[in-house]
Structure 1
Amino acid sequence: MMNTSRNSIPPSIYALGFGIFAMVTSELQVTGMMPVMAQSLSVSISSIGYLISIYAFAMAVGGPLLTMLLLRFAPKAGLMILYATFLIGEVLGAMAPSYGSLIVARLITGAVSGAFFGVALAICVELVDPKMHGRGISIVLGGLMLGTVLGLPLASLVGDHFGWRESFWSVSLLSLVSWLVSMGMVPALAKKGHASLAEELSALKSKKLWAAFSTSMLIIGATYSAFSYFTPILKDVAGFSSNWVSILLLVYGAATVIGNNIVGRLADRHTIPVLVSGLVLLAAFLTLFGLFVTSKAIVVVALIGVGLVGVTMNPAMVTRVMRTANGRPLVNTVHTSVITMGVVVGAFLGGIGISAGFGLLSPLWIGVAMAVAGLISLWPEMRGTPAGEAAKVARQAR
């Protein structure tokens, strides 16, 4: 049972964030090793790229299914099962004799990663004082930011100097350490007697919950529509050198860590204002980026701005969803799936814009449009009207 007298963040929350860090590093590690993996496995670079999509697919679909299977276990027991399964999947990846077996390994680790987010956030809510939920969530999700800023470069560095299998082994070791840390630091929590699959599924029927899901998908979609094509935009349009692009992406990653920390401190008391302000600023920075792309100084400011207010709204997004559905593990996992779909949809729409002949800047404008759509999805709550009632009023007006 949660100790509501706690006025600080328990160390176990940092352990959960470490677990997220290990899994995000696993998700992204393929990105920096495509050529060497393609040569080793005698497949095309695009085939290696599909391993990223396969991981995301497993997170979106397998994560909720795995979470449902774990409902019969106490929270910590479920967490330990996920760690063990993830380690098995990562070791299978390191030992994979063929491309097909590597696909199986990625399906396992992807599904576990999706479920881990939901279970870890549910445990976080139990361990942290209600007044500090947003702060606790930001620490757990800080592993996501650090996985991008620190985990990906380190995994790529190991892959470049020692080989891609060694990179998988290094992430296996990282996940083992994270497992042991969580085993020692995360306290055992009693299984909620009223928890059932039927109740978990029933919570997903809420229209207000799906309104929150839609906002989350649009925020992440808006960010990744632009972020997915930052490198070609910075090099081919803004005129930065390859070295400068690497530095700017590192600066962007640092901005996400800072922004995540700031949002985490504000998310509990100002959830909707944070989301509204973040979307307004996101649209503004993307517009600034698109209009003044030939000015390097303005591009740098816009890039940092997108880093501060894009994916960093995750703590506020998660806080909103948890308040709507009482922090249920399955709801958290489905929310993770929705966020993953936001990444896929944003990157896909950005690519469609380029393929349709609208140029490399089109992903920025698509991001602006998705940010505006996110603001529209928040309108019922901005007016203090439940989403269901707003829809009913709209139908009557027609």
Structure 2
Amino acid sequence: MNKKVYVLAIAAFVVGTVELILGGILDLIATDLHLSYAKAGYLISIFSLVYAISAPILLNVTARFERKKVYLCTLVVFLMSNLISAFSVNFYMLMAGRALGAATGSLIFVLSLTLAARIVEPQYKGRAVGIITMGGSASLILGVPLGIFVGNMAGWREVFIFIAILTALVIVAISIAMDRVQPIPVVPLKKQLSALWNPRMLAIHATTLLVLAGHLTLYAYFTPFLQATIGASSTMVTFIYVMFGIAAVAGGGIGGLLSDRLHPAKAIIIVLVPFMITMALIPVSVGLPLIAFLLLLSIWSALSWTVTPVQNSLIIKTSPETADTLISTNSGIAHAGIALGTYIGGMVIDHSAIQHTGWVGSILILLGLVTAIYAITRKEHSARAVA
């Protein structure tokens, strides 16, 4: 397989770090800029919102241009966004930096996925997509903890300077390692919209929304869940997050392998069924021996990150002509699912108990399984009709 995929994965790692880091340094930002935690939290919300809507728009705007040039230009603006964040003098300047970082970061991640799929042999497409996903998930166990360490040692501004330096290194690596990649002939917007509004593709996107919402119903409140159910100390919570991140990286790779060895339509069912069951078991597993509980959490983490490469491979397989646009819209839907799951989890905690978030999340994943089956069935019917 083309080793240049790993360079693209490093870019995905940097974007993932920017997206996930703020929760770990929010207290530092709030104190320095004299913000309430609620107002500082808007910096997370604005990132998810801009990320969700930017990629399809930017992908369409840049569709006619050579892809390496687009990639490098986007990385340069992404670097600038982190410098704006680092030298922000007030909340609104920092919000502008975050918004610019979200817009360019979303395009970088989608370009990483689509370029990885284009520069490898057909039999390695799923694995290439999985490696990019692993790059994003690696930020959980490397980028975010390192960023928090830098923030606590030097300050939150230095975190963004650190990310800008990493981005500069990625720009150099891409400039040297990547060849020019000509754009795919532009697909008319009407055809792009018809591909998106196809019932099968809508079902695939609905699966992404529901599965991510189900996962975040518990994961968004993972720390208080661990504290309330097993009385986890701060050290134990840190250890579990590291373990979770390692499992997530493995899950991204597994998803790519499954997509290569099986049709993505089969792979998504193989992933979602145990994912749903595992999440439903978590609330009742807190009374088990700790090693058994941690093993279950590892399986849950791995499966949660296996979904994305399988879904993206399914999109590429289903609609190769409009895959760039559809992967970007699917990425936006995933962020909408993150927001939805966080809201639902909060509602569960307010009106019930935090232990119930796992069960509610598993119900959402079950609904995602139903939409996935619908999408697969529609595909099989279409194939028979053509035959």
Alignment TM-score > 0.5, same fold: yes
Given candidates 263, 272, 284, the residue that maps to 2:265 is 272
Distance 1:199 1:340, change over 3 A: same
The CA deviation at 1:380 is: 3.0
Alignment partners' CA distance in 1, 2:126 and 2:15 = 21
**Structure 2 partner of 1:167:** 159
Kept in 2: contact 1:268–1:316 (CA 8 A): no
> 2:79, 2:164 within 8 Å by CA — same for their partners in 1?
yes
Paired residue secondary structure (1:361): helix
Give the Cα–Cα distance (whole angstroms) in 2 for the partners of residues 66 and 192 of structure 1.
Answer: 15
Amino acid at match of 1:318: N
Matched, 1:360 2:354: yes
**What does 1:143-162 align with in structure 2 at a 5 Å threshold?**
143-162=135-154
Task: Show the counterpart of 1:210.
Answer: 202
Structure 1 position 274, deviation (Å): 2.2
TM-score, normalized by length of structure 1? 0.91
Query: Secondary structure in 2 aligned to 1:97?
Result: coil
CA distance, structure 1, for counterparts of residue 70 and residue 216 of structure 2: 31
- Aligned partners of 1:13, 1:196: CA distance in 2, in Å? 29
Q: Distance in 1 between matches of 2:139 and 2:90?
A: 27
Among 338, 341, 344, which residue is 1:346 paired with? 341
C-alpha separation between the residues in 1 aligned to 2:54 and 2:185?
Answer: 25
- State the TM-score, normalizing by the size of structure 2: 0.93
Aligned length: 379
Q: Which one of 332, 339, 358 corresponds to residue 337 of structure 1?
A: 332
Give the secondary-structure state (helix, strand or coil) at the position aligned to 1:257: helix
The answer on whether the counterparts of 1:380 and 1:387 sit within 8 Å (CA) in structure 2 is no
Aligned to 2:48: 56
The residue number in structure 2 matching 1:283 is 276
Match of 1:5 in 2: none
Give the equivalent residue in structure 2 for 1:258.
Answer: 250
1-structure distance, mates of 2:378, 2:188:
30
Which stretch of the first structure deviates more once superposed, 128-137 or 324-333?
324-333
Residues in 2 aligned to 1:88 and 1:45: alpha-carbon distance in whole angstroms = 26
Change (3 A) 1:349 1:184: same
CA drift of 1:219 comes to: 2.0
The 8 Å contact of residues 64 and 186 in structure 2, kept in 1 or not, is answered as: no
Aligned match of 1:3: none
Q: Percent identity, aligned pairs only?
A: 24
Root-mean-square deviation (Å): 1.7
Tell me, what secondary structure is at the counterpart of 2:364?
Answer: helix
SS at match of 1:72: coil
Distance in 2 of aligned mates of 1:119 and 1:75: 8
Separation (CA, whole Å) in 1 of partners of 2:238 and 2:89: 33
For 1:377, the aligned partner's letter is T
The Cα of 1:103 is off from its aligned counterpart by: 0.5
Q: Who is 2:385 aligned against?
A: none
5+ residue gaps in structure 1?
A: 1-7, 390-398
2:298 to 294, 298, 304: 304
Q: 1:139 to 1:106 in 2, by over 3 A?
A: same
Partners in 2 of 1:388 and 1:68 — Cα distance?
Answer: 31
Could you list the per-position Cα deviations for residues 17-70 of structure 1 after superposition, in whole angstroms to 9, with x for gaps in the alignment? Answer: 111111111112211111211111111122222211111111011222222221
Q: What is the rounded CA distance, in whole Å, between the counterparts of 1:188 and 1:196 in structure 2? A: 23
